[in-house]
Structure formats: structure tokens, C-alpha cells
Amino acid sequence: MQALTSNQNVLKWINQIVSLTNPSEVMWIDGSDEQLNKLRNEGCSTGELKQLNKEKYPGCYYHKSHSNDVARMEDRTFICSREKENAGPNNNWMSPDDAYELGREIFKNSMIGRTMYVIPYSMGPIGSPFSKVGFEITDSIYVVLSMNIMTRIGQKALDVLGDSNDFVRGVHSKCTLDLNNRYIFHFPEDNTIWSCNSAYGGNVLLGKKCFALRIASYQGWKEGWMAEHMLILGIENPKKEVKYVAAAFPSACGKTNLAMLIPPEIYRKKGYKVWTVGDDIAWLRIKEDGTLWAINPEAGFFGVAPGTSKKSNYNAMMSTMKDTIFTNVVYNLDDDTIWWEKFDDNPPENGLDWKGNPWNGKKSQEKGAHPNSRFTAPARNCPSISSEWESPNGVPISAFIFGGRRAKTAPLVYQSRNWQHGVFVGSILASETTAAATGKVGVVRRDPMAMLPFCGYNMGDYFAHWLNMGKKINNAPKIFHVNWFRTNEDGEFLWPGFGENFRILEWILRRCDKEVDAEVSPIGYLPKVQDIKLEGLNISHKQLENLLTIDCESWLEDVAGIEEFYKKFGSKIPEELSKELNTLKNNLNNYLSSIVA
């Protein structure tokens, strides 16, 4: 097939990969419905895909990956910078020379007898000043169709690129799916990603975490912008005014639920609405007037299926009802539909589990869907999708929110004193495992800005980049921390969460607009109890006070953990953050002394 571009930088690189992998055919993906439909039909004919019930799930397909290939491989994911220090202790490192040599050995002749698909794509709206162009070379129809959902593919991306050499070079091959030779190499200094011996989305949809976070975070560091593991949310008040926040949460902390939140009925009746701009990744740039704006670089949702239901996340479920690919879920043989745990209370009796084995959901003791089974759904399907989600200008950010799962330490919400303190709050972000039956606190896992697995360079430099960005922003977004997961002595949650979290978002925006005061505490600014609206909620002011208390002993224990975490980065930890840590320690000790006195 004839190339769709005359860009010599692109053609030279593609010819190199063709010589290395030796495919039987090269197909350029132009993004047309005609071409994509042919690939869907071919995928179904080979068994790579199954078309679902056309009436119940129009345009939807079922896909199953190999049983040893069902999740991101953190231990096989490498940052291949020329200097090991540039990768930092937050990443696995391999020298570029060694990684390229190993990758060439694995990729050599890997596409014999296969078609090579060349996918040009744009991360971000076509032509936006925020956006970047990438290519993914792959031998997987599943990857082509998934990238069509997750990004903007085809000729339109090539038209924007023109003759430029500023594009990310992604190469993927299923190879033999050999677990022992499965690698995801990132070469941030070369704008290159190589992924081999996997067919699972998280390892092979190279526009997502690989480009949009690991490579883009490095690009942002060098070019003066930010790539963050953040949802973007718009909150509309009864006056039709919309304010936007960006929020970062480690896994299992309610990120997707917040991105697609539905306000409580009492707020909906007053005219409040929530708009989803993005559920996972934000690219942020400072505009000419010094304000900070963000886009969602993705075009779809790559969500975890189990636990998602119309009750837990109605908007996410509605997003999957057409043009979606479901991976490693239960297949219902009776009506060609899908199911997963907590989908509803009516599992199929005549189904196939995620491994393809016969499965009766009424009798089986084994789970039918893999715990990390996925849906890949177009963002345009989401009922709460913002009218601005594809705006080339992005949306202005009023606040950053960091959130962790803490049983005792963090209050329901607090605000940082300033940008520098806010960066410190993000840098110490953590979640913990809890034994709910006894209320015992488990292991605290640090995940700064929820970026620990996704930062493409040394996190000490990443913290410094955050601090430097703050110096360039006029009227910088306020920075907050939330914790929906505080528990009582019996391990029961004190806050109802889900849609009720809107009440905290409202307080956050009122703080941004200077409509309410706050209490000064050792850790930052706390809400005054009367300023969190509890109307229609079965929580007393005394219970809310408990949710907002500061347990200094727990915080001082946390300080010791922060000190240990910071030590990993040595001299790379910015002096400003070390000062903030000392301030926190002194504030807590002084507060304790005042109580004793």
C-alpha cells in the first residue's frame, strides 16, 4: 500500500522497521470507516475478535488476551535514558544501547507472514497547540481498532504533522507472546517506544501511558508544560458558570467515579451539573496571559470493568453501550453479550470466562471476568461529556486536587497554604491498605501526584519542574487534598463518598473564589464545619468535625515515612520541599505542645 505521507523523517524510520520485522504486507491506516470495517471483519474471521449483539451492543466487540498477558508489566517497563540518574529511582533503567540491541533481537523477523499496520495518530484534538503526533507500528488488528477509540487516527494526523520531525516513534509486535522476552522500552531522549511480546492494551496501546505520560512528561519537562495522571472535571453552577479542576488519585481511590460524578439530587434540582473533560490524563500549558489550561489528550476511556455498574458509575456504563471493545470479561453465549462481577445480579449460566472456558455464573465459585478486565470506549459516548472536551484551546484550571486512601491520617479535605506547599502535598501523596474488619492500618504506599509508575524521568527533577511551573503561572490554581476513605474504629467509612463528594468540590471552588474562610491547621487550611453543606445528608456537624480532625501522632509517624521516601532521591529533592517537610514537623510538634500546655 502506498504511503500516506511524503515526510522523509517518517518514511526513513518506517523503512528501518520494515527491514527489521520483515512483514508480508504494510498497511497505512487512513482512519476511514471502510478500512476499519474491513479490519473488524478480518479480526472476527480469525477469532481475534467476536462481534457482540448488534441490537444491545451496536458496534461492540469482545476480545480475549493470553492468560499470562492481562496487565501492565511494571517490572518489564524501562526508561532508557543515556544517564541512569535521569531515569531516577522511580523507574527501571536500561541503557539505550542495550535496550535497542535487545529489542532488535526480539523484533527481528517478528512480522513474517503478518501485516504491519502503520497508525498515525494525534494525542489531543487535531491541530490544537497542546497536541502531539505519534505513530504506532503494530501487527495487531486489536491495537488498530483500540487506537481508533483512544486517539485521533489517520490522514488528519499526518496533515497536521506535515514535514516535521517532531513525532513519537512507537513500535509494537506481538512477536510470540513470550513472557520472558516481554519488554516495554521508553527512549525519552529519542521520542521512541518499543513494546514486544504483549497484546494486552496497557502494554501495547502506546498512545496511552507510554506516550501520554512517560514520554510526554519528559517532553513537558524540556518544553515547559506538564503531562499529568489527572482527570479533568467541569462544575456548572445555577448561573451556568463552569469552573474546571484537575485531580490525581492512585489506583482504587475513586478517580473514574469522580471524573463522571453525578451530583446529589438536592444539587441537581438547583441546577448544578458536572461535566467530564477527561478521566485519566491531562496535558497542561501556560497561556500567553500566564493562566494554566488543560486538555485531555485521549479520545476514549480504557476502564477497569469489574465493579463498574449502573449503580456505581452510570456514565461509565452508558459510555460502553456502543462502539466499545471489551477485553477479558465474561462472554454470554446465549445472546452474544458480556458480563463481569458487579455488572448486575444476573450472571449468565451459559458463558465463557475470561480464559474462554465454559462458565456458569449461578454455580461457579470462580470469578468469570479477570479482575483487570477492560472496556475501551469512545469518550463521545459519555452522557456527562463536556462540550469543551475537544476544544483545541483546552479549559482553564481553577484547582488541583490530590487524593489518597487513608484510614486515620488525612482529613476529608484540606487546602495547601500556597503553590510550594501544594507541590509538597502532591509529593507525599499516599494510599494504604486497611484490614476493614479490625480497622488496622496496613502498608502506606507513596505515589507522588499519582505519577510514580508513569513519570518518564527522575522524580526529583519532576518535583522541581512543578515548582518552576508555579513561578510562571499568574493566579495559579489552588491545591487541595481529599480523603474519602477515613474510617471509624470498626473500619467503617465515615463519609458516604460517590456523588456526595460533590459537596467537597463545591467547597473547593468556593475557596478558589474566596467566598469562604478556613481554619488554620498544622497541615494547611481546613473547612469551617458550617461551610460544608450537609443538607439532605445523614451526617451531623459533630461527625463532620471528626472527619476534619488532625491526628498529630499519626501525622508525625507519616513524617518519618516521608523522610525515608525523600531519601531515595538524595540531592534531587528540591530544597523547597525539604523546608516544607520541616515546617510540617515543627507545626505538628508545636500543636502538640500547645495541647499539652
Q: Which residues are catalytic?
A: 253
- The secondary element (H helix, E strand) that includes residue 15 is helix 8-21
Q: Are the C-beta atoms of residues 558 and 409 closer than 8 Å to each other? A: yes
- β 192-196/167-173 pair status: parallel
Looking at this protein, which amino acid is placed at residue 362? K
How many whole angstroms from its chain centre is CA 105? 32
- The secondary element (H helix, E strand) that includes residue 258 is helix 255-259
Q: How far apart are CA 87 and CA 456, in angstroms?
A: 7
Kindly report the number of other CB atoms within 10 A of residue 563's CB atom.
12
Kindly report the number of other CB atoms within 10 A of residue 346's CB atom.
9
Burial group, residue 425, by CB count within 10 angstroms (0-12, 13-18, 19+) = buried
The grid coordinates listed for 374 are 477492560
Residue 572 DSSP class:
G
| Terminal C-alpha separation, the chain | 81
Buried/exposed 250-267: b ≥16 CB within 10 Å, e otherwise: beebbbbbbbbbbbbeeb
Alpha helix (H) ranges present in 392-435? 419-427
288 CB-near residues (< 8 Å, 6+ apart): none
Nearest CA among 305, 168, 274, 313 for reference residue 227: 168
Q: How far apart are CA 247 and CA 449, in angstroms?
A: 9
- Rg (C-alpha) for the chain, rounded Å, is 24
Q: How far apart are CA 278 and CA 255, in angstroms?
A: 11
Query: Cα angle vertex 185, ends 179, 190, to 5°?
Result: 160
> 115 - beta bridge partners?
25
Distances (CA, A) of 454 to 78, 105, 570: 11, 26, 20
Kindly report the number of other CB atoms within 10 A of residue 272's CB atom.
17
Query: 456526595: which residue's cell?
Result: 500
Backbone angles phi and psi of 231, in degrees to 5? -75, 160
Q: Are the C-beta atoms of residues 388 and 234 closer than 8 Å to each other? A: yes
